[in-house]
Amino acid sequence: MTIHERIFTLRRAAGLSQETLAERVGVSRQAIGKWESGTSLPGLDNLQSLAAALGVGCDELLTGEPPAMRDTASPGGEAPAAGNAAEPTDTGLRALLDAYAAAQAQAARRQRLLLACFFVMLLALAGFGAFAGAQLRALGGRVDGVSRQMDGIDERIDQRVGAIRAGIEESLREQERPVAGYDWQYGAESGDTIPLTLTATPKSRRDGTTAAFSIVPAEGGALTVPAEQQADGVFTARLMIPLTEQYESFSVLVAFTTDGETQTQKLFREVEFFSGRRMTAALELTDFRVETLAPGTDRARLSVGGKCALSVRRALQGDAVPEAAMVTLLVDGEEKARETLDLSREFSAPGQTSGDDAQMSASSSLAVTYYIDFDRLELPLPDGGAVLVADVTDSAGHQITVLQNVYLPRESP
């Protein structure tokens, strides 16, 4: 028996008219008629109301199977009613999903049958030749119109079924998730780490269940700590997240283990964690020329010089701002040139300036690119290479170092 046949049978058995059932469910009588004829199916939004009005559970309405009787009584001492219209389980949802797929296939078959009938009529009129030419063209136009109309109907059916299918599949995924609820809170910075307190409650509480929380960065290994179970069944743990670029973005997961079986769920994803709390910088060669003079001879020398770009971005959180930078050219580990930069004007912190600089302070930059021009130098060909090193310091005393290779010696064959 199909779902629409069960709706009809249960309504008749309950002695309800379509109007009465529609009133109890909160839909129109036409909707009840479509559900009973199989031209439409109830959605998730009115499924429970329909099952309750018919005196059955959602699963019994969708599958035709009566609910399994429980051995234990309800907390109030009464046995649970067989017709309890609770939310459908994954079995009922899959039955509804299959019914929608069948309805979609049936609509497509009706469209093909209707078009086939029109084409048969079209071929029959073609036998009249030129005498029926006008009628043939008119009928052809009608066929095209009906075809476009059926395409529109089919598209609307596909959209409706697609939306309901997505809702059902999301309900199925939600039932498979082991977490009933969770929460998190960041603490104050401690050294170069940020504490993160996590709590999670499993849907199924059983003796012997353990839990663990994990921080999984985009690159690198996971940071995992076991959780402690509180008296109310909630699991909690405190993780110390290092303030390093490895943790610029990461996912937070919880895993519940019961009787050797582990269920894992991602709680949330964090992005710009490091750059939100620390300044960042990048060094790029823009018009920096490197040339080997007289290669392969005893007079071989290295010619270097030109422009490079230092991009500095302040932290998104906190009051610390970049203050100073030093860009150094090292050749075989020895300093050959140095440029210093004052970053305090572009990154002035609120309240640190007055007068004409007040407007600049109020609109402190988020990111600035500085262009440094090194005079050209000719040096003995280095054995270990040449590199540009940028050291950037902020108002809180934090320092970051970025490097950009300038010259790497070729390996001997």
- Cβ count within 10 A of residue 95: 19
pLDDT digits (tens, 9 = 90+) for 142-189: 656 655 665 565 566 556 666 666 666 656 566 678 999 999 999 998
Phi, psi of 333 (to 5 degrees): 80, -5
Q: What is the mean pLDDT of residues 239-244?
A: 94
Q: What mean pLDDT do residues 57-78 have?
A: 62
The model's pTM is 0.53
Whole-angstrom Cα distance, residue 45 to residue 49?
8
Map out the domains of the chain with their CATH numbers: 3-67+82-176 (1.10.260.40), 179-270 (2.60.40.10), 280-407 (2.60.40)
Confidence label for 79 from pLDDT (cuts 50, 70 and 90): very low
Structural element, H or E, at residue 180 = strand 179-186
Tell me, what's the pLDDT at 373? Answer: 95
In this model, does residue 297 exceed pLDDT 50? yes
Encode pLDDT of 138-149 as tens digits.
656 665 665 566
Q: In what order do the strands lie in the sheet with 228-229?
A: 179-186, 193-202, 235-242, 228-229
Question: Higher pLDDT residue, 63 or 68?
Answer: 63
CB within 8 A of 166, min separation 6: which ones? Answer: none
Across 259-381, the runs of DSSP E, i.e. the strands, are 261-270, 280-293, 301-313, 322-331, 334-342, 367-380
Task: Give Cα separations from 136 to 105, 128, 144, 158 (angstroms).
Answer: 31, 9, 12, 32
- For the stretch 324-355, pLDDT in tens is 999 999 999 999 999 999 998 888 754 444 44
Q: Using CA atoms, how far apart are residues 110 and 94, in angstroms rounded to an integer?
A: 24
Cα-Cα-Cα-Cα torsion 180, 90, 165, 41, nearest 10 degrees, comes to: -120
